[in-house]
Amino acid sequence: MLNKLKRLPVPFKEVLKIASKEAASLGFKIYLVGGVARDLILGKTIFDLDIVVEGDAALLALKLSKHFGASFRKHHAFGTAVVTLNKHKIDFATSRNEHYPHWGALPKVNPTGLREDLFRRDFTINAMAIGLNKNDYGKLIDFYGGVSDLKKGVIKVLHEKSFLEDPTRLLRAVRFAQRFSFKLDKDTALLMKEALSLEALTFVHHHRLIDELVLILKEAKPAAYIKKLYKLTELSFIDKKMKLEDTDFTFFKRVERTLAFYKKSFKKDKKDKKVEGWLLYLSGIMIRYSLEEIVDFFRKFSLKKGDMIRVFAVKENIGRIKQLNKDIKPHIIYRLLNPLSLESILFFYAYYTQRKIRANIECYLKELIYVHLKVKGQDLKKMEIKPYEIYSQLLQQLLYAKIDKGFTTKAQELEEVKRIFKRLSSKNR
């Protein structure tokens, strides 16, 4: 594994070097663990680091944060801390075992050695570690057959109570199986079936369940994940009355193609926020609900208000978007789409298959989305236009005229302002 560590980005290698040095000075031992070890073996890109410490993880993390001038956050209950360095997250955790007061509960933790720490994890492929100490730097530590299971392409739990102690592992099993095109180990599949028959997902607080669902929706191509999850659970942990049809799964595939098409075909402004693709899938799941039920859902699961507004807007505007299914002036396209989030607009592109609707949405994304006026309110003041209350109406009509007529200069806009003002003045006489 030493050669694989050498291929890490330079900032990560520097973090591991300093972490190893600081840990040694404190008398601690440290290891890269879990998904990082797995993905290094698979040759995948590493974005974040997970480090287990046989010692005080928070103390080591604090030292690292001070060394790099990075942010530091401590979680007292679990003996963990997070250092954020250049948008990369480095998780530190004291090696620990876990005791579950009852099925589905958050665990009680106690410090322990690395072997016990790895045994508490979800699957064998996530229960490996890489030494970062002077005497074992780069050494792979695999007590539970993770490498063998990676080679065989199987998802396997570490003990028979795994799904009952933490039923969110049922959702993670689906996520990892689909992501890596792995199969469930035979015994693991039986344990999953048993846990589902006991309705194990009802043991877990719904906040933890929605976190796992969002992770699934954030996968690169989650349509197959949703279908598999629905087959196993019918998404009853969201709503026992949930019913998805074949048309829904077809729509999820169209969302995948839409997001890929957008990424490939449209230039992005540097100020643009990242498209939250997972919201398109969630909107597709929620589209059958009333506006009141959508609000109740977001409150129940404590999801962000901004995300709720975007899903809410999809439901509220789905009928209005049908106006795009005809030849209309560009400013009407702009007026319909500009108030919406990019997520809502891309949802409608996937939802409606009519060529005219899609062409008009493409027109907006390609030509209209970044249109803005060169003329401002201060220019209207210089022209001694009064009353001031008319400015917003003037500028809106000017914007629509610019969109329809294709103005490119400020001079053209100023001339158009005069015409609009003259027309408005004559109407008000």
Considering the domain architecture, whether residues 310 and 403 belong to the same structural domain is answered as no
Range of the domain at 174: 155-234
Tokens in use for 187? 């015994």
Domain assignment present for 230: yes
Domain assignment present for 177: yes
Domain assignment present for 240: no
Residues contacting 166, CB < 8 A, separation 6+: 100, 104, 107, 122, 204
Considering the domain architecture, whether residues 105 and 212 belong to the same structural domain is answered as no
- Predicted confidence (pLDDT) at residue 102 exceeds the cutoff of 80: no
Residue-averaged pLDDT of the chain? 92
Q: What is the pTM (predicted TM-score) of this model? A: 0.89
What is the pLDDT, as a whole number, of residue 69? 92
3-state DSSP assignment of residue 123? strand
HEC readout, 37-87: HHHHHHCCCCCCEEEEEECCHHHHHHHHHHHHCCEEEEECCCCEEEEEECC
Considering the domain architecture, whether residues 394 and 359 belong to the same structural domain is answered as no
Higher pLDDT, residue 62 or 271: 62
Out of 291-305, 330-344, 346-360, least confident range: 291-305
pLDDT (tens digit, 9 = 90+) per residue, 130-182? 999 999 999 999 999 999 999 999 999 999 999 999 999 999 999 999 999 99
Query: How many CA atoms does the CB half-sphere of 144 hold within 13 Å?
Result: 22
Query: What does the alpha-carbon distance between residue 114 and residue 230 come to, in Å, rounded to a whole number?
Result: 36
Considering the domain architecture, whether residues 5 and 145 belong to the same structural domain is answered as yes
Query: What does the alpha-carbon distance between residue 177 and residue 159 come to, in Å, rounded to a whole number?
Result: 18
Domain assignment present for 241: no
Q: How confident is the model at residue 116 (pLDDT cuts 50, 70, 90)?
A: very high
Considering the domain architecture, whether residues 2 and 50 belong to the same structural domain is answered as yes
What is the pLDDT, as a whole number, of residue 274? 84
Query: By percentage, how much of the chain surpasses pLDDT 90?
Result: 81
Considering the domain architecture, whether residues 354 and 386 belong to the same structural domain is answered as no
Considering the domain architecture, whether residues 6 and 93 belong to the same structural domain is answered as yes
- Predicted confidence (pLDDT) at residue 98 exceeds the cutoff of 90: no
CA R_g for the chain = 27
What is the pLDDT, as a whole number, of residue 266? 85
How long is the chain? 429
Considering the domain architecture, whether residues 316 and 253 belong to the same structural domain is answered as yes
Of 336, 368, 400, the residue at which a domain comes to its end is: 368
Domain assignment present for 217: yes
Of 234, 263, 293, the residue at which a domain comes to its end is: 234
pLDDT (tens digit, 9 = 90+) per residue, 175-204? 999 999 999 999 999 999 999 999 999 999
- Predicted confidence (pLDDT) at residue 77 exceeds the cutoff of 70: no
Considering the domain architecture, whether residues 36 and 147 belong to the same structural domain is answered as yes
Q: At 181, which CATH number?
A: 1.10.110.30
Q: How confident is the model at residue 272 (pLDDT cuts 50, 70, 90)?
A: low
Considering the domain architecture, whether residues 215 and 71 belong to the same structural domain is answered as no
Q: What's the whole-number mean pLDDT along residues 219-244?
A: 93
pLDDT (tens digit, 9 = 90+) per residue, 34-44? 999 999 999 99
What is the pLDDT, as a whole number, of residue 97? 82
Q: How confident is the model at residue 7 (pLDDT cuts 50, 70, 90)?
A: confident
Considering the domain architecture, whether residues 3 and 147 belong to the same structural domain is answered as yes
C-beta separation of 427 from 420 below 8 A: no
What is the pLDDT, as a whole number, of residue 429? 58
The count of structural domains within the chain is 4
Q: At 73, which CATH number?
A: 3.30.460.10
Out of 8-12, 176-180, 334-338, least confident range: 8-12
- Strand duo 183-184 + 108-111: pairing: unpaired
Q: How confident is the model at residue 337 (pLDDT cuts 50, 70, 90)?
A: very high
Higher pLDDT, residue 97 or 179: 179
**DSSP label at 100?**
-
Q: How confident is the model at residue 387 (pLDDT cuts 50, 70, 90)?
A: confident
Domain assignment present for 361: yes
Considering the domain architecture, whether residues 216 and 250 belong to the same structural domain is answered as no
pLDDT (tens digit, 9 = 90+) per residue, 237-256? 888 888 999 999 999 999 99
Domain assignment present for 97: yes
Q: At 285, which CATH number?
A: 1.10.3090.10
Backbone φ, ψ for residue 157 (5° rounding): -75, 165
Of 101, 135, 152, the residue at which a domain comes to its end is: 152
Domain assignment present for 80: yes
401 to 131, 235, 371: CA distances (angstroms): 65, 48, 11
What is the pLDDT, as a whole number, of residue 388? 86
